[in-house]
Chains A and B, each alone.
Chain A
Amino acid sequence: MSDQALIPGWEVVIGLEVHAELATVTKMFSSALNRFGGEPNTNIDPVSLGLPGSLPVLNEKAVELAIRVGLALECVIQPSVFSRKNYFYPDMPKDFQISQYDLPINGVGSLELPDGRRIGIERAHLEEDTGKSTHVGGGGRIHEAGHSLIDYNRAGVPLIEIVSAPDMRCAEDARAYVSELRAILVAIGASDGKMEEGSMRVDCNVSVRREGTAGLGTRCEVKNINSLRSLGRAIEYEARRQVDLIESGDKVEQQTRHWNEDDGRTHKLRSKEEAYDYRYFPEPDLVPVEPSDEWIAEIRAALPMLPRERRRRLADAAGVEPSDTALTVERGMDDLAVDAIAAGADAARVLVHIANNLADGVGKLTAAPFAALVAMETGGDLTATQAKSVLADLVASGGDPATHASTHGFEAMDTSELEALVDRFIAEHPDDWAGFVGGDDKERKKKAGFFVGQVMKATRGQADGRIVNELLARRSAEA
């Protein structure tokens, strides 16, 4: 992580702007449907097309979802005002975007990463999405295209833009921030968080400075990042580009840059001088948003458990650090784990099974049989290998672990049977036994492996290796 510098002698400073489409039924300012993937220009109405005379009316659900986001990120929820951000673009119907400028609905807050570090949130504001252009001909590039087609289905879809503080120092931090943010948005039902469908989009501000210096370097904003993988690659490329510039005596120019997935580079879109003057001013067609304390309290009370709370709950139940529970929570299996532990299962085995054996989901597995399985395993009735096999059965078809175990013939062997076998192999292999009894640690381990192997072979794997080892140790002490 951040202790491992990407470029020796340099520190990378990263801030992220994440746009997430809010999971409302209708659009931000009209009753047209907010739905991904329809036939082009079917989810539209006079407002989403910006027809003359049409007026926006704020979708209360979008405000509620934005407040959920604010509460989950521990932001200050405040009275807010919509503003117009003016610039010409064909896929923006009114040639201005209704956004929030100096008075966003959510002020400063923070996001806790799974490892416990906090990334500052500067603001999380509401705005409307634009339509989508398709450039026909010329390989899809705007300058070479014969003509362009515009789909306004997305125009007016509510977005929340979450702006982080420049608190991240490496690509891994940025990826962790985005996955945590995504998990939060999904958990609270604010967004489906699908980067591949564009319902969550990440712009990245990157600057570099020499290690040990305090001021911020000149930043570049990188756009068109479509996956967590691209995010990491783009940051690493951009940081190296900036360091190379400075080390060769040049300066970093403040720019907006475009990440190209194919060549793995960022390309200049425009410099600071070419930046738009958006001429923000308060949107006169809308009134200020002033959510009451009662409403905010209602929304807070209805919030589901957040990922960080889930990690803490499982950590408390399992007696481990919250960071050790991140994977389980990420897989949405923390309820299962907490319930299995509460039913008496060994916490460590529960977490190991989730990490190693449940990557493809829980299927029909529920907490009680999971706990019973782990109990059989820790009680010596099943070997680790057998337990994994029975777990797969539980995932596939549910049911009772004991039944699955007996179907496989995984009968626990009687200790007296094992004793007899161990004694037989000791008698049959006196030299190996002498090596076990008198050898150094290494020799002892090697010979233990030999005897366990013999017993396993004889029992076709049904013996519990742990018990065989115990028997060997007891015989050796008696010898």
Chain B
Amino acid sequence: MSVRSTAAAVRAGERSALSVVEEHLAAIDAHEDEIHAFNLVLADESLARAEELDRRIADGGDPGPLAGVPVALKDNLCTRGIDTTCGSRILEGWRPPYDATAVERLAEAGAVVIGKTNCDEFAMGSSTENSAFGPTLNPLDTSRVPGGSSGGSAAAVAAGFAPLALGSDTGGSIRQPAALCGTVGVKPTYGRVSRYGLVAFGSSLDQIGPFAATVEDAALLLEVIGGHDPRDSTSIPEASPDLLGVLGQGVEGLRIGIITELMGGPDRAASVEGIADDVRARVEQAAEALATAGATVEHASVPSTIYGLSAYYLIAPAEASSNLARFDGVRFGLRVDGDTAPEMNTATRTAGFGDEVKRRIMLGTYALSAGYYDAYYGRSQKVRTLIQRDFARAYETFDLLLSPTAPTTAFPVGERTDDPMMMYLADVCTIPSNLAGHPSMSVPFGTGDDGLPVGVQVLAPALDEATMFRAAAVLEGAAP
């Protein structure tokens, strides 16, 4: 049942919000132990919320387009009075005094927050193995990772714990786990969804976005959370886009380019490495499906995307090193005592942060240091400008671009935990959209040789989520 029809039934009083929530809590009860999608399940709160919604409906009220629909929130989204850990010991027990804008908008639309999902600590990782509270496992094969960093949100949707979830995407943290778990995952245009209340990782890259089982459900969720917010200075001053209205418009006449540099393969010297053959085959098959539906599909070159990963691993850690400075033991979260304030800061951060977070803080601090700034941070900003320019050129010829979402299907738990570079490569196809600030989304399209899902990434120019969703809907319909 689609989210739209569930909400419609609840709004019409044909189905109670309570029964919807109970059904999902039952699914959580049955399988959460195997998956560990959540850091916190809000069973009592979501039941109380459902009852309140049912009373409002009984009194003739209309809670909105997500009436009674359970939504799982990544644990780096601030929720008033509810633990928000970011998967880190340093924030264990911290309860924000306010809701993120996206969370407020969910509440205004009648949604029910069912829990806070596990993630890599401070969203730093591609497998959800970096959480201080233990890894999340892939519901389709628990020997595999769900991807990350929003692995808990992807797993929650894939396991049927919630029809919708929110994640955050700094370098692929929504799209990559969506691909690995076989769900739809969307990174909107930078500034489309307010970042107010999202605990920052890389501020110039972070974007909140939806997970859903279908393209239509994802469109509905993005419509609800999108739109201008005066509390975020980088929020785009435009209303949320109409997506549901364009989903059925097809791709007839659209020009779609397959990004050569992100396809790999022996005959493509200018490509990134590590794109698995079975993944590439699915993307080529998806391209054919779009052509069959009336689009013109060709190869497209976005040359500087091959430098995206390197630039990203300077820019994101640089911003993170500054964003994470506030976790100093003074005002909130963990405090480990010391004889002086600096000693207390050091003891707190040493005990509170995990290895990957420390690694990135050190990387970022180094990249911004006097004497190194130009060579690292400065140069990576130039690469970012090049990537933006190359995308702009490609969009002179194409309406949309296409690539794999992740180089491989879900990899085994533990395979890459000792090899950060291998782990970082999982985001090689998703990072360019973050650097450009453009929207892109992952749509499930068949499986790899191992029977696990493959995601195809649809990329669009800034603010053109509508055309992107049209192509996603076609791919969803044509998926093998």
A: residues with CB less than 8 A from B are: 46, 49-58, 84, 86, 88, 90, 93-96, 143, 148, 150, 277, 279-281, 284-287
Contact = CB atoms under 8 A, between A and B. Distances in A.
A476 B232 CA distance: 90
Contact of B368 (A86, A95, A143): A86
Most buried by B among A55, A86, A286: A55
B369 interface: yes
Contacts of B98: 46, 51, 53
Interface stretch (B209-217, B286-294, B325-333, B460-468): B325-333
Contacts of A93: 326, 331
B203 interface: yes
| Prevailing SS type, chain A contact patch | loop
Nearest to A150: B330
B359 interface: no
B328 A90 contact: yes
A286 B100 CA distance: 18
Nearest to A287: B233
Interface stretch (B110-118, B194-202, B241-249, B414-422): B194-202
Q: Most chain-B CB neighbours within 10 Å: which of A94, A143, A281, A286?
A: A281
A43 to B, nearest CB: 15
Contacts of A58: 233
Interface in B309-343: 318-319, 321-322, 325-328, 330-332, 340-342
Contact of B322 (A52, A90, A277, A279): A279
5 contacts: A53-B200, A55-B233, A57-B232, A90-B341, A284-B319
A148 B91 CA distance: 22
B234 interface: yes
Contacts of A54: 196-197
B233 A281 contact: no
Given A46-B97, A46-B98, A95 B328 contact: yes
A286 B233 contact: yes
A125 B373 CA distance: 23
Given A46-B97, A84-B322, A52 B84 contact: yes
A55 B342 contact: no
A158 to B, nearest CB: 15
Contacts of A143: 340
Contacts, number: 100
Contacts of B265: none
A89 B425 CA distance: 36
Contacts of B100: 53
Nearest to B198: A53
B119 to A, nearest CB: 14
A57 B341 contact: no
B365 interface: yes
Nearest to A85: B322
Contacts of A286: 233-234
A55 B377 CA distance: 23
B332 A56 contact: no
A86 B326 contact: no
Contacts of B233: 55-58, 285-287
B78 A57 contact: no
Contacts of B369: 277, 279
Given A49-B331, A86-B368, A281-B318, A95 B325 contact: yes
B204 interface: yes
Interface string B329-366: 01110000000111001000000000000000000010
A277 B365 CA distance: 10
B231 interface: yes
B370 A50 contact: no
Contacts of A53: 77-78, 84, 96, 98, 100, 196-200
B75 to A, nearest CB: 11
A48 to B, nearest CB: 11
Contacts of B330: 90, 150
A97 B219 CA distance: 39
B230 interface: yes
B86 interface: yes
Contacts of B96: 46, 51-53
A50 to B, nearest CB: 5
Contacts of B318: 281
Contacts of A150: 330
A58 B230 CA distance: 10
B204 A281 contact: no
B326 A57 contact: no
Given A281-B377, A287-B234, A55 B368 contact: no
A315 to B, nearest CB: 47
Contact of A277 (B198, B326, B370): B370
Nearest to B341: A90
Residue among B202, B328, B340 facing the most chain A CB atoms (10 A cut-off): B328
A54 B332 CA distance: 14
A86 B324 CA distance: 11
Nearest to B377: A281
Most chain A CB atoms below 10 A, which of B204, B326, B368:
B326
A220 to B, nearest CB: 21
Contact of B232 (A55, A84, A280, A281): A55
A115 to B, nearest CB: 41
Nearest to A94: B326
Contacts of B321: 86, 279
Contacts of B231: 55, 57
